[in-house]
Structure 1
Amino acid sequence: MKVKHLFGMLSLFLCVFNLVSCGDDEIKDPDDAVTLNMLNEEGDKTMLGNSDVYINKSNNFKTYLCYIADAGETSGLGVDVQLQLNNLAREVAVVPGHLYQIYDRDVLREFPSGKCAVLVGSGYYKAYVVSPIVNENVMTGATVKYALTYPEAPELPEYEKLIGYIDYVGESLEYTLPKDVECVFNAHLDSEKDAFDIQINDRKLTITLLKPVDKNYGPYGTYGMYLRLGSVFTTVEFNVGMGR
């Protein structure tokens, strides 16, 4: 935009001076941020990172293998925003100044509570639309900054953490759950849940084997549970009849 008045020029000078003086207050991009000129599908159909996200001819972000959340208007890529998992879509408008979160569909899980969560340790893209790309007054894409980001959930154990072994009827294992987690059996455990007495009291998970180990018909093998805390989930596992 052209500055037409002396006051405008003075204001611009003061803004530059303030930026130099208060640079420590600026929101910085992540160290691994990438700036990308994404041309839409009527041009080179530029993909975002290793995802299948592109800009279609309607100038919307489009994907088939991911989900996209519009986190709204922010001041840059480095802004810390909560995971947005309630408005996931396969196609969203490209809006300059907006921050987006892009998730692989395979790392998301919906829980019985209705809450959706992303797998701990799985990366997702944060993408910030800097400006449209215009050619002869027609939008042909957008300049985007993006970075691979990982959800933080220090209270949760790592994915597929082994919490113990059970080898004979009456044997139990105990594990202390993080506070306020939602706990759900995986398919294997759910199909053979009658072989166990599973109790959760005051965050203490207790699993007791009720039936003899049977390698052919079960109970036998590795069983697991999903643990959700906020917008992040993980799994814990235990072995039955497999020895230490």
Structure 2
Amino acid sequence: MNTKKIIGISLLSLCITFFMSCSDDDTPNDPADTITLNMLNEHNGKTYLGESGTYINEANNFVTSSNFISDVGNGAGVGANILPSLTNLTHEVAVTPGHIYQIFDKNALIDFPSGNRAIQVEASYYQAYVVSKILNSDMTIGAIVKYIPIVPDNNELPAYKYNIGSLHYIGETVELALSQNIEFFLKEHSAGKKGLNVTSANNKLRITLTKAPDIVNGPYGTFDLYIRSNNVFTVVEVNVK
């Protein structure tokens, strides 16, 4: 092999290495559980995305009737590390190559009194990335989509339906240590929530019994306290006996 060929091959190798290095910096690797799907629209096979009930209609839009979908916008790939996008949820959105989408089970979402929406701890959602359109004779018949299931960070909240204790007499208190910037509310109960005082201070949530338990007029039974930290929420239980 002559010297010119050797130099040419070396330069080509350097270029390829440089290109791959730049690509790795700009585009996150696909996670190990990534699924690549040829999603045909409803006129050409109606392929569903996982268990989400999401498909592409004849107008080449993502459609989901039982869940919510959010167009997060341009992204580097399905493995992009982004928070759940819960502010622009819809049931139908355009399929755009290069965009990231998130699909949520509507039963795992709740709106707090402040108007902030949150997703339940331990609940998963799909993150999808549209690689390209699928064409047939210049007609769009679907899209190549990569997707993964994601469980959001719990923001140090306790597990869903965690029991923080029982209250039996006036003045008794149960406490729960939490991170800062939480929002909470006590769910209505058939036995009435009057008689329970909930406060938050110094990164602690306190529930105090201010009325004697009463099986007829309340408070009595198991009460659900909803707690939100940023865009994630949990429910903890307190018993009044």
Could you give the per-residue CA deviations for residues 41-97 of structure 1, whole angstroms, max 9, x where no partner exists? 101100000111000000000011111111111121111122211111100000001
**Correspondence for 1:194:** 194
**Correspondence for 1:238:** 238
CA spacing shift, 1:227–1:218, aligned 2, 3 Å: same
CA RMSD of aligned residues (A): 2.2
Q: If the length of structure 2 is used for normalisation, what is the TM-score?
A: 0.88
**Correspondence for 1:117:** 118
**Correspondence for 2:18:** 18
> Which stretch has the larger CA shift, 60-69 or 77-86?
77-86
**Correspondence for 2:9:** none
**Correspondence for 2:218:** 218
Matches within 5 A, 1:125-144: 125-144=126-145
CA spacing shift, 1:146–1:87, aligned 2, 3 Å: same
Mapped to 1, the partners of 2:19 and 2:187 lie a distance apart of 53
Aligned residues: 230
**Correspondence for 2:4:** none
Q: Unaligned stretches of 5+ in structure 2?
A: 1-11
**Correspondence for 2:34:** 33
Identity in percent: 46
The one-letter code of the counterpart of 1:183 is F
> Which stretch has the larger CA shift, 118-127 or 26-35?
26-35
CA spacing shift, 1:141–1:14, aligned 2, 3 Å: farther
> Which stretch has the larger CA shift, 72-81 or 137-146?
72-81
Shift of 1:207: 2.0
The one-letter code of the counterpart of 2:240 is V
**Correspondence for 2:227:** 227
**Correspondence for 1:7:** none
SS of the equivalent of 2:199 reads: strand
Shift of 1:217: 4.0
> Which stretch has the larger CA shift, 22-31 or 81-90?
22-31
SS of the equivalent of 2:88 reads: coil
Mapped to 1, the partners of 2:101 and 2:77 lie a distance apart of 11
Mapped to 1, the partners of 2:92 and 2:24 lie a distance apart of 36
Matches within 5 A, 1:50-129: 50-129=51-130
